[in-house]
Amino acid sequence: MLLRLFVTFLVGFLTLGFTAKNLYAQKKKPSHLISKKLSKRDQRLLKELHTELDKLLSDEAYSNTFWGVHIESLNPKFGVIYALNSEKNFVPASNQKLLTTAAALHYLGESFRFRTSAHTWGKIVPAENGAMRLDGDLIVLSDGNPYHAERFVDSTGGFFFYQLADSLLARNITLINGDLVADDHLVQASTYSHAVSGGDGDYPSDWAWDDLFYAMAAPSSALAFNENFVTVTVYPADSVGKSPIVSLSPDVNFFKIENSASTGFAQTKRTLEAVRRFGTNTIFISGSIPLDSRGFRERIAVEQPALYFLTALKKALEEKGIRISGKLRRKNTNDFYLTDTLQQVASQASPTLFAILAETNKASNNFFAEQLLRRIGYAYRKEGTTDAGLDAVKLYLNSLGITEKHYYIIDGCGLSRKNRISPSAIVKLLKKNCAANSFETYYQSLAVAGKDGTLQNRLREGKASEMTFAKTGFVGGVRTLSGYFYGEDEEWIVFSIMAMNFTQSRLDIEKVQDRIIELLAEWASERASAP
């Protein structure tokens, strides 16, 4: 009996050791075959690169991190340069925008522009004091144009609200004797969004509920003002105990403020918070702000974005001396009119797709990505919905040979933690775009290392600086970096470096990612200098 127990224990121990060893090898052993067709020098340099990358990614300091790496040269002589867990699926975070922007180029084309216009079915008749009156509704229509914000005035040639006002004043119209109507049918809300906000604004169904308060999760909408958020700034009062001073920008009298916060003693810890009550446009300020604070700022997403747009438009019209006698409302089933039978009053187009993609990728703008996703859906099957946009992206990925085994997508921007994609799939997407006519537009929309966007303060020195074009990604416990490196010998190298499950700081993971790119750049430079 004792002998049987001993044998069972010994077999179990050896089996456990063998299994653990294999599991560790599966996690840590990279895939890097070196072609015997390469020159002896190229083989040596590539082996040295592998050694450095293996050492970096197996560092005990990052033993809790799940790494996925795929690096591939467009030079068929080299092909896959390095791979580690590259077929495994990772949370992409904002690397998801690489899919959305590539699909936008495919479905919309480089000349695409969002458009906004104002129309009426009414008649212009004389009013008091020699002015004119528009008897009828003023209807505003858009396909999701995200550029209606003061910060975009230079790129659009002027603020649409004031252009509309000037167009009315050119006809001497100072009174709209009707309603101000938002025709927002070109972006359609999901069933989930109807439950959350009554259908004025659209959300992917599985974004974290506590993200929905903030600008990073602003709802999509056909008519959007200031990217569907407001900036809340809080300053301490002039003495301890008093309520702090709260200001909104832009302030169009759309939000309600409930301020229960207080001003604390100087040099105490700030506990101030600004959140929006779920399903409302009431902003609640709580906690304490020190007397010596320079101020606190938070960007809060809006509910009912179409009405937000109309409220801001009405304010702009009134500033120009144009009154609205009727209500602010969304188009409803009782509005029987065809857009092409209406009289156009004003229109404005956004910048071309390159500028849209650059804002999406360089600045990692979630709102732009989600607006694009729904516009892709409309181009694909005349439905400006999340589902139509996702179906279009899936069809596009499948056409590139990227199967659904290697991805699962929920949104256009990467905020959802349910998104999944493998490093090899991202590299295949990037490689396929290298061969597209729109490649220059695509890669130039990405952040440039050491120069702009989310890479402005990364890789600022060395051979990778300004030669790396990439998209960053970050949600808690996830840090991703995918894009292109352009070598000294005019060779394009495509990479995807993904990290999950770490508990270290984001900056620690970024240092590893940056070092991988630096090693790659050094390898490419040394190889290019071969006699």
Residue 330: other Cβ atoms inside 10 A: 19
Work out the burial of residue 240: count CB atoms within 10 Å of its CB; fewer than 13 is exposed, 13-18 middle, 19 or more buried: middle
DSSP for residue 490: S
Q: Where exactly does CATH 3.50.80.20 map onto the chain?
A: 115-186+307-349
CA distance 178 to 133: 10
CA angle 472, 458, 29 (to 5 degrees): 65
The pLDDT tens digits for 108-165 are 999 999 999 999 999 999 988 889 999 999 999 999 999 999 999 888 878 999 999 9
CA atoms within 13 A on the CB side of 421: 32
Task: Read off the pLDDT of each residue in 297-312 and give the average, rounded to a whole number.
Answer: 97
CA distance 176 to 425: 54
Region of residue 149 (left: phi > 0; alpha: psi -120 to 50; beta: else) = beta
Residues 6+ apart with CB under 8 A from 353: 104, 105, 108, 109, 110, 111, 112, 113, 441
Look at residue 531 in the predicted model and tell me its pLDDT.
Answer: 62
pTM above 0.85, yes or no: yes
Instruction: List the structure tokens of 465.
Output: 């600086």
Query: What SS3 state is found at 501?
Result: coil
Of 10-19, 226-235, 267-276, 423-432, which gets the smallest average pLDDT? 10-19
296-301: strand order across its sheet: 245-249, 229-235, 296-301
Residues 6+ apart with CB under 8 A from 294: none
Packing angle, helices 160-170 and 305-319, rounded to 10: 50
CATH topology of domain 33-109+354-528: Beta-lactamase (3.40.710)
HEC per residue, 302-322: CCCHHHHHHHHHHHHHHHCCC
SS3 content of the chain, % helix, strand, coil (to 5): 40, 25, 35
Look at residue 35 in the predicted model and tell me its pLDDT.
Answer: 79
What average pLDDT does the structure give for the chain? Answer: 92
CA distance 531 to 516: 26
Q: Are the beta carbons of 202 and 221 closer than 8 angstroms?
A: yes
**Of 3.40.640.10, 3.40.50.2020, 3.30.420.40, 3.50.80.20, which CATH number belongs to 115-186+307-349?**
3.50.80.20
Residues 6+ apart with CB under 8 A from 521: 462, 463, 464, 467, 468, 485, 487
Task: Read off the pLDDT of each residue in 274-286 and give the average, rounded to a whole number.
Answer: 95
Instruction: List the structure tokens of 356.
Output: 């849209």
Largest Cα–Cα distance of the chain, in whole Å?
A: 112
Residue 458: other Cβ atoms inside 10 A: 22
Confidence of residue 31 (pLDDT cuts 50, 70, 90): low
Q: Where exactly does CATH 3.40.710.10 map onto the chain?
A: 33-109+354-528
Confidence of residue 527 (pLDDT cuts 50, 70, 90): confident
CA distance 91 to 88: 10
List b or e across 168-189, with b for residues whose CB sees 16 or more CB atoms inside 10 angstroms. Answer: bbeeebbbbbbbbbbbbebbbb
What are the helix and strand counts (H, E) for the chain? 13, 25
Cα distances from 290 to residues 206, 246, 266, in angstroms, run 37, 14, 5
